[in-house]
Amino acid sequence: MKEFLIGKLTLESLPHEWFTIGGSAFFGLLTVALIVLLTVTKRWKWLWKEWLTSVDPKKIGIMYFIVAGFMLIARGGLEALMMWLQQALGASDMPGALGAAHGYLSADHFQQIFTAHGNIMVFFVAMGFIFGLINYIVPLQIGARDLASPFLNTLGFWLYVAGVVMVNMFFFFGGQYAATGWLAVAPLSGTQFSPGVGMDYWIWSLQISGIGTTLGAINFIMTILKMRAPGMTLWKMPAFTWGSLCSMIMAVTVFPLLTATIFLIFFDRYFGTHFFTTTLGGDPMMYTNLIWMWGHPEVYILVLPAYGVFSEIVSTFSRKRLASPISNIIGMIGVALFALSVWLHHFFTMGAGADVNAFFGVMTMIIAIPTTVLVFTWIATMYKGRIRFTTPMLWFLGFIAVFTTGGITGVMLAVPPADFQFHNSLFLVAHFHSNVIGGVLFGVFAGISYWFPKLAGFRLNERIGKYAFWCWMIGFSLSFIPMYIVGLMGATRRLDTYDAATGWQPFYVLMLIGGIIIAVGVALQLVQIIASIIEKRRLRDVTGDPWDGRSLEWATASAPAPYNFTTIPRVTTRDAFWQMKQQGLAKPKYEDILMPKNTASGIYISIFAFLMGFGFVWHITWLAVVSIIGIIVCAITRTFNEHTEMTIPAAEVEKQEAVRLKRLQDEHDSAPGKPAAADMADDMGLREFIKIVAVWAWNVVRNRQWRTWQKR
């Protein structure tokens, strides 16, 4: 009976190691603090109505940023530092007690950390940020008021959140996380070698968020292909939208493979089947093939929108149109196509034979060609341009340096005989971090600092932003250049301890120092956001177009109205907004606007999906079955609801617009005649920031005044 009710979940399985107790204390305190804050400020209803149930892609985009940013700092980044610290201390004959301990982490704990780091950074940080950008920017860029299927979009977001919660569940209910590496290779991930629930947490956090990604991607393909403003042909679509389209098409192509593969490994673990086992006919190498058929394209799914971000930024800040936009678009399409046929280069050592290896080696080298085309279009755009070295532009330049290094080492790795040496070495780890940090993460940071005025109504502090960029750049070089070297010296990945005679320790120490500098960079990014909020009146973007931009998102106000555009624009060229500015903007004509209603169905379905996963993790079959029924009932109720849209009458639109224009006019009068980017030299520096915070803290302690800092 007890086993029926709670499955394998018992008191003994609850957290008892220092790191799980620490984690549950942290998340528990955070939850309590949030609940208290929301109750004291009476914001529950506001949160539910304005944010959680919202179908507005702009709000969903911001929620993606918040969740992904939190996961970056609280989990992924912290884990990176923990690993570097372990490796810096991990030499076998350090003096004193440290030598006997081989660092401060047990081998098993270290394995869980690198597994979780990989999963979280790819699924919950990078994917979250990329989906956030796509949600916020794509509808604005194509001149649409909403999405083709706002419901699928919210459902995708909430399934992503359910995955995030699942990946943190072992802090509360114990067990451990998977210790198998981020792709959980078979047969290591089978019940024989991973009997604990850690692997099941892996299965369900990836499965639930992966299905969310497929649904979100279907929605964005529909939106981009069917809802563009009149006149915007595919070739006139802005680069970021093109990158997003390529990325989303790849997502619907490969995420179903992931879903099917995870189901098979779930069957192996739950029903005792023999897909990837070593007994009764199972085939573990088939798992490796299947998972990399998804896994390799996945990194391109992440980087293609980032390519688009950089195309936008380099053209805006060089004050030129993108050089050879057709080559740029074809380059992105080429990357997307070739990326589907290179997966085997992750395991040349499988022993598939020279012919197979040669094919995949050549395909991998070919992928460098469209990528190089892209890099050249960006460099050619800067040529003879009037370059402004703003923060987004710095991220772009950093990207060119780091990403090209990553690309060149990628071509080295693509040579099968050489790869037998590089395989699973730290050289490989340094290579893909160059691409994922230099490409995706720099792209996300560039995109956020570029579009921040659009989503918040004020731009970010440029001075502190530049400090943050340089910390990232220097920290990155300091941690990953030694990693390339130590990899060539023979260090394999995922080592928690090594012989001191190898002479690797100084390099590991350098990596740790680099990691600390990156952490300072992240802290500065938080400072940058706070400093910008303090100064937000001065940084206010009243024009809606702070950078002198070229594409349609800059034609809206910052922040845009819920319906984005009062009149749907007509597009004649690629740089649609640039053209409109040259010709002068037409006076808006107000019309009835049809908008989707808010819905909580996505949240309910995700809660049930989470409970289903939880039931399967702990073998509580009744909970899983009840949750599946719950999902079906919610889905049916939603799809047969015929009243999902509402009309905003033209008069109402006009009234709202008048209020908004009046407010903009007032702000414009108080800060007359300058685009927000004009006075970047006046942004506060660190010293001033510290002074303001200190004075504020003093005021809080002495005079109990919370709000003094808003006087600026």
Partner 1 sequence: MADMAEAIESAEISHEAAANDRVMFGFWVYLMTDLLMFAVLFAVYAVLHGNTAGGPGGKELFSQQQALAETLLLLTSSFTCGLGMIAARRGNKSQVLVWFGLTFLLGLAFLGLELREFAEFVREGHTFSANAFMSSFFALVGTHGLHITSGLLWMTITLIYVLKRGLNKHLVRKLALLSLFWHFLDIVWIFIFTIVYLMAFV
Q: Where are the alpha helices (DSSP H) in 383-504?
A: 391-413, 416-422, 426-435, 442-456, 462-488
The three-class DSSP label of residue 668 is helix
Give whichever of 186 and 440 is closer to partner 1, judged by the CB atom: 186
> What residues contact 338, with CB distance under 8 A and at least 6 apart?
363, 366, 367, 370
Give whichever of 368 and 631 is closer to partner 1, judged by the CB atom: 631
d(CA 453, CA 443): 17
Q: How far is the CB of 217 from partner 1 (least distance, A)?
A: 9
Going by their DSSP bridges, the two strands 593-596 and 645-648 should be labelled as antiparallel
Helix (H), strand (E) at residue 241? helix 239-270
Give whichever of 358 and 594 is closer to partner 1, judged by the CB atom: 594
Give whichever of 53 and 253 is closer to partner 1, judged by the CB atom: 253
Q: How far is the CB of 140 from partner 1 (least distance, A)?
A: 19
Q: How far is the CB of 271 from partner 1 (least distance, A)?
A: 5
Q: How far is the CB of 413 from partner 1 (least distance, A)?
A: 26
* 256-275 exposure pattern, b = at least 16 Cβ within 10 A, e = fewer: ebbbebbebbbebbbeeeeb
Give whichever of 86 and 219 is closer to partner 1, judged by the CB atom: 219
What is the four-CA torsion angle of 686, 692, 695, 697, rounded to 10 degrees? -90
684-to-98, 466, 536, 585, 594 alpha-carbon distances in Å: 44, 12, 11, 35, 43
d(CA 424, CA 442): 25
Q: How far is the CB of 145 from partner 1 (least distance, A)?
A: 12
Give whichever of 25 and 629 is closer to partner 1, judged by the CB atom: 629
Q: How far is the CB of 632 from partner 1 (least distance, A)?
A: 7
Give whichever of 189 and 525 is closer to partner 1, judged by the CB atom: 189
Give whichever of 250 and 471 is closer to partner 1, judged by the CB atom: 250
Angle at 184 between CA 603 and CA 218, to 5 degrees: 40
Give whichever of 262 and 478 is closer to partner 1, judged by the CB atom: 262
Q: How far is the CB of 631 from partner 1 (least distance, A)?
A: 11
Q: How far is the CB of 376 from partner 1 (least distance, A)?
A: 33
Q: How far is the CB of 222 from partner 1 (least distance, A)?
A: 4
351-to-188, 207, 279, 506, 552 alpha-carbon distances in Å: 19, 30, 20, 35, 51
574-to-229, 305, 318 alpha-carbon distances in Å: 12, 18, 16
Contact by Cβ (8 Å): 160, 153:
no
Residues that bind partner 1 (CB under 8 A): 148-149, 152, 214, 218-219, 221-222, 225-227, 252-253, 255-257, 259-261, 263-264, 267, 271-275, 277, 279-283, 286, 290, 594, 632, 636, 639-640, 642
